[in-house]
Amino acid sequence: MDGFPFCIDKELLQTVGGVNIDLTYMGFAIEPNIPLASSGGSSCGGSCSGGSCSI
């Protein structure tokens, strides 16, 4: 990504087939090429900001 190194688990990368990383006004937006299946319970996604992530 234009000189910025990122880490991702090999199995996760294989599952999602790659990711697109964009910088938004709220932080980073990470979109998988192949969306993960919903685990039920909630239809909302996760987000990361201020050094912590939530799902």
Instruction: Give residue-wise pLDDT tens across range 9-49.
Output: 999 999 999 999 888 999 989 999 998 887 655 445 555 55
Q: Indicate whether 50 belongs to any domain.
A: yes
Domain of residue 14: give its range: 10-34+41-54
CB contact at 8 A, 34 and 45: no
**Location of structure tokens 């990122």:** 6
Is residue 4 situated within a structural domain? no
**Residue 25 covered by a domain:** yes
Quote the strand ranges of 1-55, DSSP E. 19-24, 27-32, 47-49, 52-54
| Percent of the chain surpassing pLDDT 90 | 35
Residue 47 lies in a domain: yes
- Domain-embedded: residue 45: yes
Radius of gyration of the chain (CA): 12
The reply to whether 3 falls in a domain is no
Q: Is residue 1 part of a domain?
A: no
Q: Look at the chain and report how many structural domains it folds into.
A: 1
1-11 pLDDT, tens digit each: 467 788 999 99
